[in-house]
């Protein structure tokens, strides 16, 4: 079974009803899991405080949020430090956690491919699925670039 971990940018993309339905159907049909780190919920709700009802429609498609223990927290710190030591931009705290979980499960869903490519190059890697690549697949999509 494949599992994919979602970051805050991906959640923004899932605000589009058509994209959200397509993901839920695809993951259900493949019996794959959609993982959401608890810290991403904090990031997402902070950015959507004015429209919590709409934000909760996205959050409700996920099972129990993924909590991180000491091993994943340590791995996330190592990924972040590796990027910083190579002179890359500070990836913050949330993205390295998503990347560490992505290393375990194999797939990261995002709208920030470059950020996760940097983190993947610092570690064991994972497949990156960028929601901005859905343009043209889903006509009239409201997927936006960046945050």
pLDDT of residue 120: 94
**CA 45 to chain centroid:** 14
pLDDT at residue 73 in the model: 97
| Token digits of residue 108 | 């990261």
Q: Is the pLDDT of residue 90 over 80?
A: yes
User: Tokens at residue 120, please?
Assistant: 């993947």
Residue 134 CB contacts under 8 Å (≥ 6 apart), including other chains:
13, 19, 141, 143
pLDDT confidence of residue 133: 81
Strand partners of residue 66: 37
Backbone angles phi, psi at 110, to 5 degrees: -155, 180
What average pLDDT does the chain have? 87
pLDDT at 135: 58
Strand spans (E) along the chain: 3-6, 33-35, 106-110, 127-130
How far is the C-alpha of 103 from the C-alpha of 82, rounded, in Å?
15
Closest CA to 97 of 40, 42, 41: 40
Of 140 and 98, the one with more pLDDT: 98
Whats the size of the chain, residue-wise?
147
**9-61 tens-digit pLDDT:** 999 999 988 889 988 888 888 888 999 999 999 999 988 877 888 889 999 99
In this prediction, residues 66-91 reach a mean pLDDT of: 96
């Amino acid at each position: 079974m494949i599992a994919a971990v979602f970051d805050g940018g991906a959640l923004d993309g899932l605000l589009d009803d058509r994209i959200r339905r397509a993901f839920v159907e695809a993951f259900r049909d493949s019996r794959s899991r959609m993982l959401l780190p608890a810290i991403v919920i904090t990031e997402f709700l902070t950015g959507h405080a004015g429209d919590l009802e709409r934000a909760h429609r996205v959050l409700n498609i996920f099972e129990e949020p993924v909590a991180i223990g000491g091993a994943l927290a340590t791995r996330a710190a190592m990924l972040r430090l590796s990027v910083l030591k190579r002179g890359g931009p500070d990836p913050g705290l949330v993205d390295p956690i998503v990347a560490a979980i992505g290393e375990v499960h194999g797939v990261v869903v995002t709208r920030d491919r470059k950020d996760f490519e940097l983190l993947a190059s610092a570690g064991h890697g994972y497949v990156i699925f960028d929601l901005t690549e859905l343009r043209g697949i889903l006509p009239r999509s409201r997927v936006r670039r960046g945050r």
